[in-house]
Copies of this chain bind each other. A is one copy, B any other.
Amino acid sequence: MQSINNIVIIGAGNLAFHLGKAFYVIGKNILQVYSRSEGSATQLASLINAEAISDFNAIATTADLYIIAVADDAISEVADKLQLNDQLVVHTSGSVGMEVLSKGSNNIGVFYPLQTFSKLKDPDFTSIPICLEANSQLSLKLLKSLGEELSNQVQFVNSKQRKVLHLAAVFACNFPNLLYTAAEKLLEENDLSFEILKPLIAETADKVQQILPSQAQTGPAFRNDIKIMNQHIMMLRDHKALEEIYVMLSRIIKKQKDNEQL
């Protein structure tokens, strides 16, 4: 095999959905979309000219690549059932080791796009880092070539590094979104629209595209402005959870400024 052309997608969640569409757009032949839920399989399959299946035994054995894009704790079970010989099988998870695929095939790997996906918003794959791993040089080469058809940022990342990336992504994506939610609540209660914070959120994320975040910290905690911090803590007296966040993160900003180990 010179390159990957025929693909089976196992799973029909957000990532399967966007990855399936992206492969279809670059001309790959998506043979099948498998999902336990026939509706989900059909929804994706109909968009990308694939067969929708919900019977695991109907999965074709002739594809070049099997992409397992299911919940983390279902990956090994799916792989165990695949029972292929040498066809390339990958999962798409940040936190699961490659080795859980080993009963599925002799050729295994990981194809992890480091991005947050939602059904409502089409991602631009060209700028999404794709983190690859495989158990042979040939598979790695095939995945690299496939990845580069989608994205300008293809990297080899081992299982240990990938887990660190996923943890770092929780800090860089999931946790900031909670803090945006805290801001949303505070504004809502005071008849202010979330609209007014959007430019600030955009600029804060844009700044670290150019300057490392450790060099970009600002705010009352960084300035050690105790008067303002006390005023803020007073304002949060009816929001115990937000007060806890405020106190802890302010303290850690000070630690970071003082070059203490976080």
Complex interface: chain B residues within 8 A of A253 (CB): 174, 178
Q: Report the stretch among A47-55, A100-108, A136-144, A192-200 that lies at the interface.
A: A192-200
B170 touches A246 (CB 8 A): yes
Complex CA gap A92/B36 in Å reads 58
Report how many residues on chain A are interfacial, defined by Cβ distance under 8 Å: 97
B262 touches A182 (CB 8 A): yes
For this chain, the copies found in one complex come to 2
Complex interface: chain B residues within 8 A of A235 (CB): 163-164, 167
A26 near B: Cβ within 8 Å? no
The majority secondary structure among interface residues of chain A is helix
B214 touches A184 (CB 8 A): yes
A129 touches B174 (CB 8 A): no
Complex interface: chain B residues within 8 A of A218 (CB): 116, 118, 173-174, 177
A192 touches B242 (CB 8 A): no
Given that A160-B190, A190-B160 are contacting pairs, would A222 and B174 also be in contact in the complex, using a CB cutoff of 8 Å?
yes
Q: Pick the contact of A204 from B116, B199, B245 — CB < 8 Å? A: B116
A230 to chain B, nearest CB (A): 11
Which residues of chain A in 148-195 are interfacial with respect to chain B, using CB atoms and an 8 Å cutoff? 153, 155, 157, 160-161, 163-187, 189-192, 194
Complex interface: chain B residues within 8 A of A221 (CB): 170, 174
B200 touches A115 (CB 8 A): yes
Complex CA gap A211/B236 in Å reads 25
B172 touches A197 (CB 8 A): yes
Q: Nearest CB to that of A160 among chain B residues? A: B190
Which residues of chain A in 197-247 are interfacial with respect to chain B, using CB atoms and an 8 Å cutoff? 197-214, 216-222, 225, 227-228, 231-232, 235-236, 239-242, 244-246
Task: Enumerate chain A interface residues (CB-CB to B < 8 A).
Answer: 72-73, 95, 114-116, 118, 120-121, 123, 127-129, 131, 153, 155, 157, 160-161, 163-187, 189-192, 194, 196-214, 216-222, 225, 227-228, 231-232, 235-236, 239-242, 244-246, 248-249, 252-253, 255-256, 261-262
In the complex, 10 of the A-B residue pairs with CB atoms within 8 angstroms, ordered by the A residue number, are A73-B227, A121-B211, A164-B235, A168-B182, A168-B183, A169-B183, A172-B180, A173-B200, A179-B179, A198-B209
